[in-house]
Amino acid sequence: MKQRFFRSLADLRFAIAILLIIASVSIIGTVIEQDQSIETYKINYPLTNRVFGFLSWDIILKFGLDHVYKTWWFISCIILFGISLLTCTILQQLPALKISRRCQFFRTPQQFQRLKISTQLNNFKFHKLLAKIKQTQYSVFHQKNIIYAYKGLIGRIAPIIVHFSMILILIGTILGSINGFKAQEIIPKTETFHIQNILSNGQITLIPKVSTRVNDFWITYTKQTTINQFYSDISILNVDGNEIDRKTIYVNSPAKYRGINYYQTDWNLIGLRLQNNDNLIQQYPLINFGNAQNKVWITWIPKTAALDEGVILLIDNLQGYCSIYNEFGQFLGNLELNEEYQTDIPLTLVDILSSTGLQIKTDPGIPLIYTGFLFLMISTLISYITYSQIWVIQNQKKLFVGGTTTRATYDFEIEFFKLIKI
């Protein structure tokens, strides 16, 4: 019973069935947005208008379809698939490799009938054929009047490496699911922060207690005044607040510290600092009324204590200037940094306060996944090495010669006919 159970686990049909389940669930996780708020699912998957006639937000939350890659049943499928691969390797691949290394002599001419390539030679010297086989770099086993030779044994290792690489990838996937996390922080320039706004995390995730300071944030623009790149200069601090690492990050170039990755993802303007004619610097908050593609911020500078008269300052970039409008919406001009605007209330733009959007994440399974894919590529190259076998029996004055190969049959046939060519 135990042997039958493990052989069922190692069965190819069982492994394919589990793999199809994993692929189907992965498709669901791709179609349905993962790790979003409940409000997002209520808007996109309402109860009154179900997607595909049955899918609504309550079903998504009930079965964990909002985080399928962290659910117990998805992880169980991955573990089961890994056990199937490991069992197949132990019960089938390793014994097959051991058999391939053994001497597999043919004792009777009838055994050649099951080979795809075989022939019978008359008046051909046995020792001459043996020498020609040795010249073709075969490993030769010779016993009296019989010969067994093989080459390309390393090609038989490829399936084992494939299974090993897939098991590494599966372990890395599980480790990343249960021990990784993703956080999003919007941090004003010059401020220090800890990781707090956690978007998703695994069952055994420990959030690192690390302090980070945003030293500076800036944007570069093209000649057409479109955004070219975002930059954030960040420092990693120790418990005493001293800098231990520093890097300028930008989109697709994150900072890495002890397995933690800091990605540049977003930006925001939070306020303007203005100086009046009394040399008093005041800070005015900015309100964003644009969208993700067209960001526009606005603030109101009152002239009177009643707040009913004043000017509107509007800004949509970080190039060092803003536009001024009166209370009726009429354009009055642009105000640049350190420039004084002469009106009823003289204003000087001292600073534009910005904040940077950082995504902080860690995935401890990434090294294992990359290693698994490396071995997978190596196994692909190894699989191109052909495993070939040749058998020879001398029966009186007749030579029975046959052979087989795992791939490149045409090349093997050419090699075979060169061996038996007189």
pLDDT of residue 401: 92
Evaluate if residue 82 carries a pLDDT over 70.
Answer: yes
What are the tokens at 213?
């300071």
Tens of pLDDT, residue by residue over 242-253, are 899 999 999 889
pLDDT of residue 232: 94
Q: pLDDT-derived band of residue 1, with 50, 70 and 90 as boundaries?
A: low
Q: pLDDT-derived band of residue 343, with 50, 70 and 90 as boundaries?
A: low
92-101, 108-117, 357-366: the lowest-pLDDT one: 92-101
Percent of the chain clearing pLDDT 90 (strictly above) = 25
CATH number of 103-152+386-420: 3.30.310.80
Percent of the chain clearing pLDDT 70 (strictly above) = 98
Evaluate if residue 416 carries a pLDDT over 80.
Answer: yes
Tens of pLDDT, residue by residue over 156-176, are 888 899 999 999 999 999 998
CB 190 within 8 A of CB 164: no
Evaluate if residue 30 carries a pLDDT over 70.
Answer: yes
Q: Are strands 181-188 and 340-341 parallel, antiparallel or unpaired?
A: unpaired
Tell me the mean pLDDT in the region 249-269: 91
Evaluate if residue 239 carries a pLDDT over 90.
Answer: no
Evaluate if residue 56 carries a pLDDT over 80.
Answer: yes
Q: pLDDT-derived band of residue 235, with 50, 70 and 90 as boundaries?
A: very high
Tell me the mean pLDDT in the region 86-112: 84
Q: pLDDT-derived band of residue 338, with 50, 70 and 90 as boundaries?
A: confident
Tens of pLDDT, residue by residue over 285-315, are 999 887 767 788 999 888 777 677 788 889 9
Report phi then psi at 86, rounded to 5.
-65, -40
Return mean pLDDT, the chain: 87
Tens of pLDDT, residue by residue over 379-408, are 988 888 888 999 999 887 888 999 999 888
pLDDT of residue 422: 62
pLDDT of residue 326: 84
pLDDT of residue 164: 92
38-47, 97-106, 120-129: the lowest-pLDDT one: 97-106
Cβ contacts of 152 within 8 Å, gap of 6 or more? 385, 386, 387, 388, 406
Range among 54-63, 123-132, 245-254 with highest mean pLDDT value = 245-254
pLDDT of residue 395: 83
Q: For every residue of the chain, which 3-state class applies, written as one string?
A: CHHHHHHHHCCHHHHHHHHHHHHHHHHHHHHCCCCCCHHHHHHHCCCCCCECCCECHHHHHHCCCCCHHHCHHHHHHHHHHHHHHHHHHHHHHHHHHHHHHCCCCCCCHHHHHHCCEEEEEECCCHHHHHHHHHHCCCEEEEECCEEEEEECHHHHHHHHHHHHHHHHHHHHHHHHHHHCEEEEEEEECCCEEECCCEEEECCCCCCCCCEEEEEEEEEEECCCCCEEEEEEEEEEECCCCCEEEEEEEECCECEEECCEEEEEEEEEEEEEEEECCCCCEEEEECEECCCCCCCCEEEEEECCCCCCCEEEEEECCCCCEEEEEECCCCEEEEEEECCEECCCCCEEEEEEEEEEEEEEEECCCHHHHHHHHHHHHHHHHHCCCCCEEEEEEEECCEEEEEEEECCCHHHHHHHHHHHHCC
Sign of the C-alpha dihedral computed for residues 50, 51, 54 and 55 taken in this order = negative
Tens of pLDDT, residue by residue over 310-334, are 888 899 888 888 888 888 888 888 8
